[in-house]
Structure formats: C-alpha cells, structure tokens
Structure 1
C-alpha cells in the first residue's frame, strides 16, 4: 500500500452516506466506486449464485475489474426472487441515502420498488436509474450495452482513420463516462435533499447515451454551420495543428500538440525552419489544417533523427507541449507514477498481489485511502443483515 498521507476515516467527505448498489458490470460500479472512494458505505447487492457479472472479467483467474471498481465496498448476497431476500433489501433501502440500479426500465417497478413504494419506505432516498437509452423514449425498452452507445453516439464515426472502418474504444468508455456523471448528479441531489425539510424521493434518469454524447463537444452546431460531420483523422485534431503522434529513431512515440503561435515558432525554429510561419502553407490556423500532411512531414523528419530521450529533452528545452506515448509496462516504473504513488498493492483472493489505481485526487494534500480490498461474494452479510 502507499506510504503517502491519507485522510483519516472520520474526515472522509461521505463518511455518513449509505449507498445500496443493485447494479451490475461497469456503469453502476464506476458510479459507486467514486462514492466509496470518498468514504461512503457502499453495499453491493449480489446474486448468491455468481455475484456481480463484473467478477467474471478475469485474467489468470483474478477478477481484475472487480478488484479495481469494488474496493472500499461491502458485498451482501441476497436472493431477490425470494420474499426473505426482498424483505432484507427493503430494510437496507429504508436506511439508505442513495440507491443505484441499472435494470431495464420497468424492472424496479416489477420488483415492487416503484416510486410510490420507495416514497413510503424512505422519502429521503435518491434513486439513480441507469439504462442504455433512458427511462422514456422509443429506445427505453431496448438493450443498451456500451458498444451500441459508442457506435450510435457519434464517437466511433469520428474515431480512427479516414481510410479505415470506424473504431470503438478499447475499454468501457460509455459506461465509465455515465458512471462519473451519475456520481456527480447523485451528490448534487444529496446536497439538496439534506437541505429539504420535507424530502421526497428523487429520481435521476441516467442513460449511457447522453453523457457520452455530451462529451463529444459541439458536433451538432458545427455540422449545422458547415454541413460536414467530423471526419476520422487518427491522432490529428479537427480543430488545430500540429497535433499527432510521431515516431522516434529508437522505435518509440511522442505526442505533440502545438497550436499556439509562440509554441509553433519555437517548434519551427528547433526543427530548422524558423521562417515556417511566413510560409503560406503554415501561416494561419486554417492553412496548417489544410496542409497537415506537409506539416507532419516536417516534424516527423526531425524527430526521426532523435531517440525518445533526445526528443523529450528537445521539447523540454523549448517549452513545447509534447510527451512520450506510454503503455502500462512503461507506467509501472515511471517516475511520475511512483512519486505520486498512483498504484497500490492489493491482495487477490488466491494470495497473489497486484496493482490497482489509487484514489485519483487529493483533498487538502491527502489522498482518500483504500480502506479495504474488493470483497468476496457475501462477505458482509452478517454485518448488514444481523438485525433482520
């Protein structure tokens, strides 16, 4: 574990918040992962037979995603098809501040936990309802895995290279973005709820589609203004140039983003073309975008003569915004990761040790701690069900 200073438990921002998590897989787990890292007591309700489906995402027998997204949480195994299991769930909900679910719309109602039932049970409750497409609309009953959202939202159409097929992200992007938005919405609702002398159940309708769609920027307005959709351009940017990845002579890669005039002047001078900003091909923002191949050729020609270390020193000396392209093997020993203590050792159920990410921020100089590793299935039944 990290030796870095951690916030004590009593100073965790959400130490008095109870969250009941009925979700499965990524979106809900990311949402409650944020809340748990901030100190909330998060109770994962899992099927006694197999638990959260996230447990099945394994490498060499280790549920790696479960270790990442379910640390600082408790696990309660309940059979929600039984009267006893539902009675236990209702008892937990009656005590909770936040309830998170990602069933298809209408499932909570079929379980007898619609709005009116929850209002009778716990009027101060905040319910975050995650679905692919939202609780209403023509797609409400349609399945909504992240890959469908990443395709339909416009992300895949603008990702990749123009001469190749659209590219889906290599991780659960839509679910993760929705989870982050959901945690913010839940905390905003909680803040308002606690100031309300006569609270009523607050429902947050969180689709996977809408947060990702909003993160793609001004796609609609730019299309309306230009009549053109954003084209796939690899690592280049449709808004400024140069912005790309470039190979060094030792087979490594650097990323460069240098759209500001001062940075460009230092870059051009450094690569042996001090008058490039007077060249009509590169003199203006629009000209650089129109002549991006020629611009990239100039930069690549210089970087091809440098090793990665030499390229990084070249950019550092000239205060140019560039850096190395890393994979996880690089990052495991990277001085930035080590100095910031961003990876923590955590035990696996079979006695091995692997690294997981630390809480990704500090509060007044202290990082919220990982209080416990991800729980075994049903590990906390006695703790939460002992009085039932």
Structure 2
C-alpha cells in the first residue's frame, strides 16, 4: 500500500511539472512595440454570436448581440481575431477566445500563450590576424548574445556548419578578395552585419637583439642589483646610528665619572687638617744634597771582585741623609673672652 501511494505521488508530481512547463512555453512571439493579430478565425461569426476574449483570465473584450460592453469594436477582425497594438512586456501571457451561440452553447474555443521579446541589434563584424597559427579570427559582436542564433556567409554563400559567434579561417583561404558577413536572429527579428574583407599582411621581421640575454633576464638582474644597493644603504644607516648612539653613551659616562672625581676631591680637601709651614730650626742639621746620577753610576760600575771583598758600606751621600721634618698640625687658639663690665660702672 505504501509503495502504491509513493508511485501515485511521483506520477502526480510529474504531471504537475509537465503542466507548469507547458504553461511557461510560448506559442506566439512578438517584439516590443510591434502590432499583431492573434490567429483566431471563425468564418460563420455574426452579430448574434457572443464573442469573449480574455488575457490571463481577465476579460479584455466582450460583445453580445452586436453590442460591445468591454473593449473596442475596432480591436476585432470580421473573423473574430484580436488585434494587439504597441506590444509591451506586460502584453505577454495567455489569451483565450470563446464564441457562443445565442442559446449560450459553445461554438468555438481558442487559446494560446504569447511571449514578448526585444529585437536583436545590428551586429558588428571584426577580425584579427594570427600569424602564429596562420589563421584569421572573425568575431560577430552583438549586445546580449545569449539565446541568439548566429550564421555566417562567405562570398554570399551560407556556411551551414558555422553557428557560433566566432569564425576561424586559415590564411591560405584568403587568397584574393573574400567577403564575410554574419547574421543574428531570435524569435522575432534578424539582423545582418556589413561586408568585411579581411586583409592580413605579414609583419616585417624583428631586428636582431643587441643584448646576448633576454630582456626579462636583464630586468631581473637590474632589479636584484637595485635591491642589493638599497639593502647596503639601510645597513650603513643602521651602523651609523648605532655608532652615534654608543658615542653619546660614552660621553655621558665620562662626564659622570669626572663629576664623581670632582666631588670626591672636594670631600677630601674639606676633611684634610691644616698644617703650619715648618721652617728648619737652628738645631736641625743642614740638608745633605742627594748624590748625582754620575756618582751613583761610578759606585755601581766598580769591579765585581771589589764589591764582593769589601763589606757593604753606605755612601757618604746616603749617610748624610736625614729624615725631613714632619709638619705639625696647626693649633687654633681659643677665642679671647673679654671680661664683662660691672654694673656699678
């Protein structure tokens, strides 16, 4: 039972899709702004018949016993066809005609679907010569090429096998003067291009290259050299900045050390005691002059044997030396206090 229901549902959906496809398909085509008569003919039509036209289920013409209640009498031909003027996209849709006898029985029924399309524009035929492949390529340029049918003619003869927008012909077939045209069409119009006579002349041979290498290789090497120079400049700038920074730090450190030494010296000078200038007294022996360098050299340069045999003796200059007097610290006398005067005075 379930299988039967599924099969029935599948058939029903297929029937609905088929009806929708038939509904969307068009029986008649017309261009925007065009006028046309719908192809309905009833030869025995008289004023006693009832004539009704509908567009998308809306009554657009109704005549009964020769009196028109909807529409205009000039919109109907003697055979009952409906005349449509200045068609627009809104004019597309389903049209239906019904003819009834005076007793309200159906005499004839007609229905059709109308589609409105734009007319094709005039195509422009261009070509380009391809000497590498030894062919000439023709292109049929047109606005909105989708859905259009293309055709080609060569010397007024239709090329039945060519239905694409482009055409390629070998240069060998262009011997002499050949004439090409292309045409485009749709359901409502057709347009044809002007005649084109392709002429392809081989370009002169290129002059020999002056460089041993290709231009791309030369440009690559040049770019690499420029990049290397920029890198070296950046490195030099960085090193200069770093050297300047180090010098600035060294100068700042030297100034700090000099300042510390100056402060330490000031502290030592402030802490040192004052000494009186000592003059030699009468009792102190006179200062013995120090030996000169020549006397010292003579004493040292004596023979080694004499030096070893003789006992060590001090030189007269050394004996005459006396320790220098040590300066005594200056003693400060206490301040003198004056006696106070008595109150009696």
Short-chain TM bin: under 0.3
Query: Greater CA radius of gyration, 1 or 2?
Result: 2
Q: TM-score, normalised by structure 2?
A: 0.18
Q: TM-score, normalised by structure 1?
A: 0.16
- Greater strand share, structure number: 2
- Greater helix share, structure number: 1
Higher relative contact order (CA 8 A, sep 6+): 1
